[in-house]
Amino acid sequence: MNGAESLVRTLIDSGVDTCFTNPGTSEMHFVAALDKVPGMRSVLGLFEGVVTGAADGYARMAEKPAATLLHCGPGLANGIANLHNARKAGTPVVNIVGDHATWHVTYDAPLTADVEGLAAPVSRWVKTSKSSRDVAKDGAAAVAASRSYPGCVASLILPGDTAWETADGVAPRVQDCAIPEPDQLAIEAAVQRLKNGKRTAILLGGETLREQPLLIAAQISQTTGATLLAPTANARMTRGAGIVPVESVPYPVEQALAFLAEYEQIITVCAKAPVAFFAYPDKPSSLLPESCSVFEVASTEQNGVSALKKLSLLLDVDTAVDVVVHDLPPVPTEDRINPEVINAVVANRMPQNAIVIDEAITGGRSLQALTAGAAKHDLLQIVGGSIGIGPPLAVGAAVACPDRKVLALQADGSAMYTIQALWTQAREELDVTTIIYANRAYAILQHELNNVGAETGKVAENMMRLDMPTLDFVSIARGMGVPGEKVNTAEELDRAVKKGLASKGPYLIEACY
């Protein structure tokens, strides 16, 4: 058995059975091992940003890491933006990067690059295997590292010779570290704070935004009067009819400041105190009123679900919770499409247990309000702010959950960073319906101009417009094997969404406005 085979077998034994890849020559032994070893699903991406974003989407839904397989420093570089997003989302990724054979690096061949240097900014764990006999145990360590709570990018660099030379065999799975418990004193202090009569919000992040923990949070809220809030963007949040609703902090800085202005204290559970996405002249970086105190019950690396349970016990909460029932918006009938029209259609046609990818950017701002009463779904968002996550995230989520419909809500400008993901959706026959919010602009930049105080003219405006020429997403999608259609009215949109959701496999709807 060579190093590559020892690694693939070790990954499988460690619970990693899916590999998103865009391999090159230096990864051929790893690829060859995929044939020898049954049990690893390999999914090809035409661009590395697809690969890493898919690994993120997969792990968010599968609740275990996928492996990537990337080619040398530049291949890794192409995957960094979505690894950044995974890092910020706390997603486990076993990020495997093939490289030149150990002895070849000194020759400074064209693809020679500082792979560790490129991996470091997005990885919590980086290691270059030194020999084929180390690869298996390095792989097991990488899996364990990626699973350190809540999850991180563990980058394992695999020189060619460590893949093709002889290995000692498979390495045993490394036991996961226990999820760190919150500090008991912090729990007790939080209980006191929740009783102090101040206007309080509980900011819930990470795994506390799932169905069961939200129920506990609702009990706490009902008992104490604290409001439940969520960060602006979340890796995964269960929502819809029957689920305890939680409002997210708005993205626009003025709205966020107004939204949070009433609170005297914030209790955080697996969430960081809210900060502005960008800095603006004469606006604060913290979104909280100056007088508002912040108290952390559980950090993003501690067990927030356990924290909620402990809080509820100490608070002796009433377990009977009335979950607020939100109405569905009417099915839109407008002649023209706008984001509210799209989001209302989505709300009405949401399949039960759908996975909703939200990279609609400005188009998504009304999404959560309009879909609060939609069928139960999981919402996956862009936590790291690096656009171009949506199409790959949909790939990964669909691979992880073949029995659930993926509904990808996608801004047009953002889609173009990783549009190659559509090909993987077609190749793997993934059950993804994509709606393109086709406003033909980097609308968020147009919105942000006032905030940053910049005055623009024609040249600048031209840098925010995507209408010269107009992108034709239906043609692009067709070129990658994904069928679709363009719609211009609410009625056409509603019909197209129903058609996409009724079909099995990828479908793209370009909603023009």
Q: Give the nearer residue to its own copies in terms of CB position, either 191 or 233.
A: 233
Q: Give the nearer residue to its own copies in terms of CB position, either 276 or 356.
A: 276
**Strand pairing class (41-44; 66-71):** unpaired
Question: Nearest distance from residue 232's CB to its own copies, in Å?
Answer: 8
Q: Give the nearer residue to its own copies in terms of CB position, either 312 or 424.
A: 424
Q: Give the nearer residue to its own copies in terms of CB position, either 88 or 173.
A: 88
Q: Give the nearer residue to its own copies in terms of CB position, either 152 or 241.
A: 152
State how far the alpha carbon of 114 is from the alpha carbons of 100, 119, 245, 264, 416, in Å.
Answer: 11, 9, 46, 48, 28
The one-character DSSP state at 441 is: B
State how far the alpha carbon of 308 is from the alpha carbons of 182, 204, 218, 230, in Å.
Answer: 10, 10, 10, 15
Question: Nearest distance from residue 27's CB to its own copies, in Å?
Answer: 9
> Which amino acid appears at position 265 of this protein?
Q
Q: Is 209 helix (H, G, I), strand (E, B) or coil?
A: helix
Q: Give the nearer residue to its own copies in terms of CB position, either 323 or 454.
A: 454
Q: Give the nearer residue to its own copies in terms of CB position, either 280 or 513.
A: 280
Question: Nearest distance from residue 294's CB to its own copies, in Å?
Answer: 13
- Rg of the chain, C-alpha, whole Å: 23
Question: Nearest distance from residue 65's CB to its own copies, in Å?
Answer: 20
d(CA 210, CA 461): 41
Question: Nearest distance from residue 104's CB to its own copies, in Å?
Answer: 4
Q: Give the nearer residue to its own copies in terms of CB position, either 47 or 507.
A: 47
Task: Cis check for the bond before 92: say yes or no (omega within 30 of 0).
Answer: no
d(CA 113, CA 26): 14
Question: Nearest distance from residue 255's CB to its own copies, in Å?
Answer: 16
Q: Is 31 helix (H, G, I), strand (E, B) or coil?
A: helix
Q: Give the nearer residue to its own copies in terms of CB position, either 108 or 262.
A: 108
d(CA 125, CA 40): 23
Question: Nearest distance from residue 439's CB to its own copies, in Å?
Answer: 15
Question: Nearest distance from residue 482's CB to its own copies, in Å?
Answer: 9
b (16+ CB within 10 A) / e for 487-500: bebbebbbebbeeb
d(CA 26, CA 198): 60
Provide the H-helix boundaries in 277-411. Answer: 304-315, 339-349, 367-370, 390-400
d(CA 54, CA 243): 27
Question: Nearest distance from residue 193's CB to its own copies, in Å?
Answer: 23
**Strand pairing class (406-411; 200-204):** unpaired
